[in-house]
Structure 1
Amino acid sequence: MSGPIRPPWAGPLGLYHPGTTVVHRAPAGLKLAFLAAFAIAVVAVRGPASALGFLTVALLAQVVARIPWHRTTRGLVPALVTAALIGAYQWWARGWATAVEVSVDLVALVLLGAVVTATTRADTLLDVLARLARPLRHVGLSPETFALSVGLFLRTVPVLARMSLETRDAARARGLDREPRAVLVPAAVRMVAHARATGDALAARGLGEN
């Protein structure tokens, strides 16, 4: 086959989506500060009504940023599944109001995080993180290494997710999707190979010694 089995991963930690909207043009530091304040508000303010309000804010940011809806819906599937499971448990344990609050808060936070990462170039985001991490020098940690670690995390999660999905699709094409080993073993091999390649690339740049 000439291409991937499924479209490239475009989840909450996925690829940058170019654009000229006001969200794209906003400074990366401002967007990160707003995301942090949003997260604090989500945790501090209780109730299903506030949760729906937070979701509305995230949806408005999505609309203003003009990120394609098919990217958003496909990328939010893991968060939606997690929110549904948590919501079901909270409904059983604490009632519908708590279930709605917890599940909708989670989706709103993930969605706004997706908007921030989709409208901010990776190098710009890493520069901001490195500046914010400058106080770490006082405890012997390199801000650049911290920013690089965050960048690797942001890049590795979608890559591993894509590998898992492609391996599952390949097993399904062979009629082996119900056989766990046909999915887990190839996926694990690909993930280990990716980790080794990443480590070799870092070592080649002299970053493995820090």
Structure 2
Amino acid sequence: MIAASLYHEADSPVHALAPGLKLLLLALAGTLIFVIASPLLLLAALMLCAGLYALARIPFSLFLGQIKPVLWFLGMIFLAQWWFQDWLVAVISILRFAILVWAASLVTLTTRTSAMLEAMERGFQPLQRFGLDAAKISLALSMVLRFIPVLVAVAKEVREAQAARGLDRNLLALAVPLIIRTLKMADDVAQAIEARS
């Protein structure tokens, strides 16, 4: 069964922060980690991120669970960077992406989707002067956030089904069903939105 929300209920200072502030801090952190080139500073940022999970009273198993779905992706980045650059650049790259994944997950784990949607809509209000619809932009972004856990669950189901057939090492056998199911899901959602105007 696919979870309806990533939100983890807890009474913590991280949960109490305003959603808009959390999104702003996430954007700032996402920018800063790509400016930092020191592995030690990135490791310190990773430890800070882990400390924020503890402060938010999020179980360690849930903390580790946020990185599991992208471990293969991090492995590919590491190998590519090691091949084209060197091992240090590879380590820096995966540290940056791991911090980004954990930081983004922390925001979604400690912020209700409705509160995040309202914060994004308020943040995009100034763009209405340029003819952009703040409500539509925030809805699109909230749907992306909502479907991340859904896609992770679908990818897990496909991987398990292909492993049962002995095709777990075949990238094409994993990618094709995942793409087809994702497109079907996107089409169903588009039809549902259109039906509700």
TM-score where L is the length of structure 2: 0.86
**Which residue of 2 is the match for residue 102 of structure 1?**
93
SS in structure 2 at match of 1:172: helix
**Which residue of 2 is the match for residue 33 of structure 1?**
24
- CA-based RMSD of the aligned residues comes to 2.5
Q: Deviations over 1:73-111 (max 9, x none)?
A: 233123333223222332343333322222112111211
| Pair 1:15 & 2:44 matched | no
| Pair 1:145 & 2:136 matched | yes
Q: 1:200 aligns with which of 188, 191, 194?
A: 191
Q: CA deviation at 1:33?
A: 1.7
Aligned counterparts of 1:178 and 1:81: Cα–Cα separation in 2: 12
**Which residue of 2 is the match for residue 46 of structure 1?**
37
Q: Does the Cα contact within 8 Å between 1:83 and 1:104 map onto a contact in 2?
A: no
SS in structure 2 at match of 1:43: coil
| Pair 1:119 & 2:142 matched | no
Aligned counterparts of 1:154 and 1:122: Cα–Cα separation in 2: 8
Q: Which amino acid aligns with 1:34?
A: L
The change in CA–CA distance for 1:174 and 1:59 in structure 2 (over 3 A counts) is same
Q: Does the Cα contact within 8 Å between 1:130 and 1:144 map onto a contact in 2?
A: yes
**Structure 2 unaligned regions, length at least 5:** none
**Which residue of 1 is the match for residue 70 of structure 2?**
79
Aligned counterparts of 2:187 and 2:11: Cα–Cα separation in 1: 37
Q: Does the Cα contact within 8 Å between 2:13 and 2:56 map onto a contact in 1?
A: yes
**Structure 1 unaligned regions, length at least 5:** none
Q: State how many pairs are aligned.
A: 197
Question: In the TM superposition, what are the counterparts of 1:158-177 in structure 2 within 5 Å?
Answer: 158-173=149-164, 177=168
SS in structure 2 at match of 1:44: coil
